[in-house]
Amino acid sequence: MALSIGIIGAGEMGIAIAHLAALSKCTVALYDINDEVIRRALEGIRFALKNSVNDTTFTKDDLQLALERIKKRTQLADLDTCDIIIEAAMEDIRVKKDLFKKLDTITHYTTRLVSTTSSLSITAIASATKKPERVAGMRFFRPILSRPLIEIVRGANTSDETVEAIRAASDKLGRETIVSRDTPGFVVNRIQSQFFGEALHLLEDDAAPAATIDRIVQLQGGFNAGPFRQIDEMGVDTHFEESYALFERMFTDSRYRPHDIERQMSDAGQRGKKSKQGFYSY
């Protein structure tokens, strides 16, 4: 029997996870409050999957089977038969706690409830449930289809069984896993905060232009892309918000200070690639 995954939120993250799960032969229940949003999400997945069709590794029959694995859901209660429910809603603790509180009442206690949050506390989200031991974090990384990692976040009350169940599910999705404690930024965002933060300090101090810093990091360090190119990709405003959230959760430790240059760019509409202007022009 295939692993059954419920996904809450048909935004960019939810769509990519549904896509990945369907390719990994899992059954997917894709939930969003808005029927039109789900319809467009499914169209997007169909389009992306169609582009993957070839004669050998992913045939037209495989495409059909993958699409059939994704079911549209507009009622949370319809997720009650899922083995694992992945919440990919907006980064708002109230929204997430409300969702988990509802999930706690409609799902069997053996269903694992996970959040894809990148900046909120899993322990805080789990506190909305009566069985916090079945709640954990499951962080995917963009681009989700090609980044081979899932960061499993263990909340203060997450059980070993839940961690292992998520590890098994991640394995099913073809992803490597690491386990992190529920601390601000977990592992990747916390360490990335220094990568981006130091580069932004250098730029603020006029140590070198952004393109020069990127070039040095790329060529001297062997990184795929420099920090400013990466921020442009993820969105200057998004990165600023994430940095600010981390800074606050770290009790304003100066190591994690966000940078005014990003706030100003966001205010000016220079939000990176998506607005065609960030540290670079597109």
Q: Identify whether the C-beta of residue 271 lies closer than 8 Å to the C-beta of residue 231.
A: no
Listed residue (153, 137, 145) closest to 96, CA to CA: 137
Cβ atoms of residues 69 and 25 within 8 Å:
yes
Question: What is d(CA 111, CA 162) in angstroms, rounded to the nearest whole number?
Answer: 9
Least Å distance between CB 13 and another protein? 15
Beta strands in the chain (DSSP E): 4-8, 27-31, 70-73, 84-87, 112-115, 135-139, 149-154, 176-181
User: Tokens 């894709």 label which residue?
Assistant: 30
How many Cα atoms within 13 Å fall on the side-chain side of residue 242? 22
Query: In this complex, which beta carbon is closest to another protein, that of residue 127 or of residue 277?
Result: 127
Nearer to another protein, 76 or 114 (CB): 114
What are 15's two structure tokens? 């769509």
8 A C-beta contact, residue 63 and residue 53: yes
Copy the structure tokens of residue 137: 């974090």
**β-strands 84-87, 27-31: how paired?**
unpaired
Q: In this structure, what token pair is assigned to residue 76?
A: 């949370």
Amino acid identity of 98?
D
Q: 95 or 207, CB closer to another protein?
A: 207
Beta carbon of residue 85, minimum distance to another protein (angstroms, whole number): 11
Give the DSSP letter string of 11-57: SHHHHHHHHHHHHTT-EEEEE-S-HHHHHHHHHHHHHHHHHH--SSS
Based on CB atoms, which residue is closest to another protein, 77 or 219? 219
